[in-house]
Amino acid sequence: MRHQPGECHLQATDVQERLFADSQQSAYTVRIESFEGPLDLLLYLIKKNEVDICNIPIASVTRQYLEYIELLKELNLDIAGDFLVMASTLVQIKSRMLLPPVAGEDEDEPEEEDPRAELVRRLLEYQRYKDAAERLAECEMLGRELFARKFISPEIADLKTDDAVPEVELFDLIQAFRSLLAKVPEDTFHEVGAEGLTIADRINEILDLLRGKESMIFERLFIAPLTREYIIVTFLAILELCKLKMVKLLQANSFGVIWIVPTLLESDISEEELLDRQAP
């Protein structure tokens, strides 16, 4: 059970293999998928050490767990916070186990539960779903073993819906901005004074306009009377919304119409909208 010198290297190759298997995915996914999570890593360590899941040698498992995290660091992988949370949980369990059981002081707790019990429950529960996931993967799957008419695998469907309308290139956006500016009548007098139009106001107005709509033509956001200030503030508001990932700008073809599409954030979806969206 003691840590072997060669073991570290072995794990490193293991991690690298997993890395390359997932290399087409984003860095974020790689980080998570090297192990599905702290529970996955713990199960792996328990299996590797051939110990009883109900009687986990916390100290040695914790040590190996931390070694693995070190290894991830060496491979320049960001450690997900979840892994660190588990590390501190393990250390906490160990320290609680070192303390002599407090007898008699807690009136309501005649006998203290094993500090590991909660973790064991979670591991067993996790293992059930891990097993279920494996068996789901064994199902004959549409798009893998089975095909039906007109069936488009989710990946391809994704490409069709999302990527068929590519997001607007910066150049096209600037082009649209310039053509809008060109619409501003040249001969308007410049009024000096506080206009009081802020980007925050425009953001709210734009969000109001977009509420309940699937999409809108970009130009529609610029409602007359057009002034330079109005256009610039609106444009900046749209850029800000893009940055906040609250809207997407899509354009089917170069020089085509630019569409502004609200992206729904989970927390922002109101109940009615939800029901609407989910209605078959």
Partner 1 sequence: MTGKPLESVVESLLFISEVPLTIDRLCAILEEHERRDVQGAVERLREVYAREGRGIYLAEVAGGYQFRSRPENADYIRRLARGKTFRFSRSALETLAMIAYRQPITRTEVEYLRGVDSGGVLKTLLEKKMIRILGKKDIPGKPLIYGTTREFLEVFNLPDLASLPTLRDIHELAEQYADVEQAELPLEGPADEIGTE
What's the min distance (Å) between Cβ of 87 and partner 1? Answer: 12
In whole angstroms, the minimum distance from the beta carbon of 60 to partner 1 comes to 4
Residue owning tokens 């649209």: 176
Residues in the chain: 280
Q: How far is the CB of 110 from partner 1 (least distance, A)?
A: 11
Q: Which is nearer to partner 1, 29 or 188 (CB)?
A: 29
Instruction: Tell me whether residue 143 or residue 199 sits nearer to partner 1 (CB atom).
Output: 143
In this complex, which beta carbon is closest to partner 1, that of residue 55 or of residue 179? Answer: 55
Exposure string (b/e) for 244-267, b if CB count within 10 Å is 16 or more? Answer: eebbbbbbeeeeeebbbbbeeeee
The least distance separating partner 1 from the CB of residue 100, rounded to whole angstroms, comes to: 10
Taking the complex as a whole, the smallest distance from the CB of residue 15 to partner 1 amounts, in Å, to 15
Single-letter amino acid, residue 80: A
How far is CA 54 from each of CA 32, 90, 98, 114, rounded to the nearest angstrom?
26, 14, 18, 10
Looking at beta carbons only, is 152 or 174 nearer to partner 1? 152
In the block, tokens 């073991």 appear at 7
Q: How far apart are CA 262 and CA 212, in angstroms?
A: 9
> Which C-beta is closer to partner 1: that of 49 or that of 175?
49
Q: Which has the closest alpha carbon to 173: 227, 265, 263, 241?
A: 241
